[in-house]
Amino acid sequence: MIARIRIGPDSYRVETRIMSVQPTSKSLMAMAEFFIGYLSRAIHEERELRPLSTLREERMAAVRYGYNAKTHFNIIDTMRSQLDFARKGLSDLGINVGFLDILDKRLENRNSPGEYVAKIWNEKFNGSINQTIYEIISDIWQKTKENQPII
């Protein structure tokens, strides 16, 4: 997701581009809430954000290995603390949390859109990358047409 957040003394403005692999509009709202709360709190505490090179490395580990990623941190504990941090930021802004529970449930169930795609890849891979991609896209498209979440 690409986001620009401007927080002023009387208001804030958020500009976003759609995040990849979010199965529902509510999931998208959960991610937006997370980013707004986290960044607001980080600004409030004058907390430095982590270096992009570290974030890229950790993101790739999470993409490859999901919740079992081995990086510089325990991914589950870090995600929980970041969600709590985001909640504090939303509270500071006077915003009621409406969707972050979606991310809590993902942590609790250790399920995410990426985990779903990895699982279905392992089930459908038949030696042909192109055929497998086609089958995964078809599966997700069918769920989309039926208005069913993928996870």
CA of 118: how far to CAs of 18, 19, 41, 74, in Å? 21, 18, 33, 21
| pLDDT lower than 70: segments of the chain | 1-6, 12-23, 149-151
**Is the Cβ–Cβ distance between 136 and 117 less than 8 Å?**
yes
69-107 burial string, b = 16+ CB within 10 Å, else e?
Answer: beeeeebeeebeeebebbbebbeeeeeeeebbebbeebb
For residue 1, count other CB atoms closer than 10 A to its CB: 12
DSSP letter, residue 104: H
Q: How many angstroms separate the first and last alpha carbons of the chain?
A: 20
Q: Which helix (H) or strand (E) holds 15?
A: strand 12-16
Which pLDDT value is given to residue 139? 83
pTM of the entire predicted model: 0.67
**Is the Cβ–Cβ distance between 136 and 121 less than 8 Å?**
yes
Which pLDDT value is given to residue 24? 72
Which pLDDT value is given to residue 49? 78
Which pLDDT value is given to residue 3? 57
Which pLDDT value is given to residue 42? 92
Phi, psi of 16, deg, nearest 5: -130, 160
Which pLDDT value is given to residue 131? 84
